[in-house]
A and B are shown apart, each in its own frame.
Chain A
Amino acid sequence: MATYQDIVSKPTPLAPGHRMCAGCGIPAIVNSIIAASDKPVIVANATGCLEVTSTIYPFSAWNVPWVHLTFENAAAVAAGIETAYKALKKRGKIKDDVNIIAFGGDGGTYDIGIQALSGALERGHRFLYVVYDNEGYMNTGNQRSGATPFGADTTTVPAGTKSIGKTQWRKNIVEISAAHRIPYAAQAAAHNVVDIYNKAKKALSADGPSFLAVLQPCTTNWKYDTALTMKYSKLAVETNFWPLYEIENGKVHINYKPKERKPIEEFLKGQGRYRHLFKPENRYAIEEFQSLVDEEWERLLKLEESGAKL
């Protein structure tokens, strides 16, 4: 079993001095994923919070080989790196084994990068794609994305007297990836770094593409105190808003089942983007939110129970 000691004893791939917001959840995610690799890694990084804050010219916060690319092509570039690596290895120009990891935000994955991602998964390149999901285009100031959940106030779908914010639920990106029949797809959350580490280990040992979606609470645009990032990540899991599960060769396995599901209010409370839902006229939206979460959870439980291949 992995421990915190295993994760922190490795040199961190990210160096201090990067310009992520105080209280950001991304470094914990990146560090624990790369710590899980026992081979050298190559990182392909889609435009997003991580990319723009870690490499402001002339600085770079990366201790590992890292490629800058645009919003949409993280998976395509990772696929290209893998193909080039295989070709060079075949010719004997490279001896070492490497792991190729692509990082993208939810905008670069759910929306803009999905066709590149889908193509790379379908072609079966051996790489790990990680999405750190902060549920919106947070780096450019909180625009709505395909990952933004129901009821959230964003600048493109603002809440007001006529609107409760976003009215749709989010895409299920893990199941979309699993539908490509890849060997490993999983969902994790920022607070449980040991779980992230274990999942990254499994994903990197898979023979083929693997996918990892990690929830990353955003202090700036979810609008809460910087110290509470890990608390909100924990609450997202405890309320079943963001279940921790994995799909291994099509089989669903839930890693954590809360003994007693917390009401969704506990997760929504204190977040500026959900403040409007607590007005008396919007209370119905919280009930709807709760039923959406419960419905998804029931579905997931049934999938696990049936043992059917997804």
Chain B
Amino acid sequence: MADKTGWKDLMRGGDLPPATSREYKTGSWRSLRPVLDLSNCIHCMICVAYCPDMCIPVVRSEEGVVGRNGRIYKGLVRLETDFDYCKGCGICAEECPTDCIKMVREEVVETSSK
């Protein structure tokens, strides 16, 4: 330790730009797909708050969207799940108060949509 090196001489540690994990699509982990029936949704935001993968997008809608019983829901509304990241855990379907999400096996969804 003959030469004295100050902290300014040290190599800089690694720093990463934010939210780069978006490049890693965890949707490939999924075996069950949450199929959403928006006509029965009350936009309560429980699924959005619980979703471990933050893959339920929300928008603020002034004109509103049609939900349960044909009612128009204004303000914050949820959109279709982002299947790039959804791991298919099923928390949204389990916790939905109006049971408007059903977990369906991926291969069933794929064959029925063809």
Cα(A18)–Cα(B85), bound, Å: 9
**Across the A-B interface, how many residue pairs have beta carbons closer than 8 Å?**
121
Q: Looking at the complex, which of B3-11, B13-21, B61-69, B104-112 is the stretch in contact with chain A?
A: B13-21
Interface residues of A (CB under 8 A from B): 4-5, 7-9, 12, 14-20, 22-28, 31-32, 54-64, 191, 193, 219, 225-231
B49 at the interface (CB under 8 A from A): yes
Cα(A63)–Cα(B22), bound, Å: 11
| 15 additional contacts (CB under 8 A) given A9-B60, A62-B19 | A14-B54, A17-B22, A17-B23, A22-B88, A27-B53, A28-B50, A59-B20, A60-B21, A63-B19, A64-B18, A191-B50, A226-B89, A227-B93, A227-B94, A229-B89
Given A4-B49, A227-B94, A16 contacting B18 (CB threshold 8 A): no
- Residues of chain B lying within 8 A (CB to CB) of residue A25: 52
B38 at the interface (CB under 8 A from A): no
Shortest Cβ distance from A7 into B: residue: B49
Question: What are 25 A-B contacts defined by CB distance under 8 Å?
Answer: A5-B45, A5-B76, A7-B49, A8-B48, A9-B58, A9-B60, A15-B19, A15-B22, A16-B21, A16-B55, A18-B21, A22-B52, A22-B87, A23-B89, A23-B91, A58-B16, A59-B24, A60-B19, A60-B20, A193-B50, A229-B52, A229-B91, A230-B50, A231-B94, A231-B95
Interface residues of B (CB under 8 A from A): 14, 16-26, 29-30, 44-46, 48-55, 58, 60, 75-76, 82, 84-85, 87-91, 93-95, 103
A16 touches B22 (CB 8 A): yes
- Residues of chain A lying within 8 A (CB to CB) of residue B91: 23, 226-227, 229-230
